[in-house]
A and B are shown apart, each in its own frame.
Chain A
Amino acid sequence: MRVALKFCGGCDPGYERGEYWQAIARAAGPEIEWARLEDQGCQAVLLICGCDTACVEDDMPPGLRLVCLRNDRLPPRVVVDILLQRE
């Protein structure tokens, strides 16, 4: 599955967003192909925000399924299951 990765700007994040994404990418392995928001052919967007404000959430493209994270409480494996709709 092709997933677009997008971070909020990170003005005052409550956790290390980059490290959290790396853990998610490790948990996903080859099941997810990561792309940029501008890239074609994505089925979902993983938006990693640093806090509850989730500044950029409203700017996400309407056609794509959005998974928006505001903290690092979910285990990476669970995030992958949500992205792959295996909840």
Chain B
Amino acid sequence: MSVLDDKERRIVGFLCNWCSYGGADTAGTARANQPTDLRIIRVPCSGRVNPLFILKALMNGADGVLVSGCHPRDCHYALGNFYARRRLETLKEFLPIIGINPERFHYTWVSASEGQRWQEVVTKFTDHIHKLGAAPKWSEVPALKDVKFDLVDAIRPLGCGTHPALAELKAEIKKALPDLHGVLGWRKGYDAIHAEPFLMQTEAEVDELIWGPFNVQNLANFLPKHAGKKIGVVVKGCDSKNVVELLVEKLIKREDVTIFGIGCNGTVDYKRILAKLPEDAVIESVVGGGSGVKVTASGKEYDMPMAEIAQDKCRLCVKPNAVISDVFLGKPTIEPECEDGRLPALRFLDTLTLEERMGFWKGQMEHCIRCYACRSACPQCVCRDFCVSDSRDPEWLTQEDSVEQKMFFQLIHAQHLAGRCTGCAECERACPMDIPVFALKQQFGRMIKKIFGYSAGLDLESMPPLLGYELEEANIKERDL
């Protein structure tokens, strides 16, 4: 029997040295009959099992992955399996969005004395994988082409007028400037609609500050670059969540940052603006007012209601006001309630079968040029110049221009952001190929919410769930095979 003649399946097992590996030994010594499909990799502890090991195995054609460690409260290192339980459960809930059947992955606990239990676990899991058959291959599923998402309606009115509090904000920044290295904000960029981030260091520069629908960039991204200096930052609601998350993760110090906020009325999606103009139109001026902007380009006027040009994330935003600030000016924007924060790509993915989802990502990843702008734009991608995907040893990724490699990079990003991603969607905005990579992070986000009732970036005192554990997890139930 072998994998090659299709009688065996490829199953990868990660077994902890102290319990499950011992359990497998006990079963072996007792000459218990076991299927031979499982390839065992011995790890010191189930806590050592990086979820990326599992994803990598599944992406590279494993038909199933089994993780087994010491029973909870019985870990050789006391706590390793508590952490593992949270990560593994979150991963299992994540898998369907990339078209991988979550039943191909199982985690359980087997102690060194439980030879018989081991025999049962491995037999049942192998049987199960045999029933599921060979895993679909990325190279073989048909790519989904020409996908179009529906525009989602905004849950609150989005507006564009000149903000009445802008003058006050400038005054406050000028007051604070002498004590700061600078304040991060936006000014008019190369034309009237393109704003660019800048660091205000003089009063004249503060006068250049703008506030409105074109302030798309998330300036929290720049904060760690200034770590150690006293720095100010102007934030929209979404940006402020990244400031919180950076503080929670101790990447910047609270006493070093001064946070300036104004209620946000939504920002634009440039693709949507440009689609309304002839491609050679030269943008001359723009005035905001009420619920839209009037763009003058090549001598013609174009009315653009925010309902048509706003970014998707703004349409569903429930935190338009800075969740944390030292100076907050003007009237806060009304905070709507919204249960369903799914952006169009995730809504669309939810309607697909597993195989179609794999095809969806295949179709998208075919166009990825691997620039990693998605990573650089992410304020929470704090490894910056030391990203694991650039490492040659260990080699997580090869340079091959294949869907699997490019997809695996997205899985690295999404997995590393699990429980940390605030949903700012900058990764997706930055992608020059317009790939909806945020959907992967949003899937992790909603599963984290479901399991731990947690959303990142809201509370300075909080603990990202994957950095902690409970002895008894309220929403993680032990699964039988």
On whether the two chains bind one another, the answer is: no
B interface with A by C-beta (< 8 Å): none
A interface with B by C-beta (< 8 Å): none
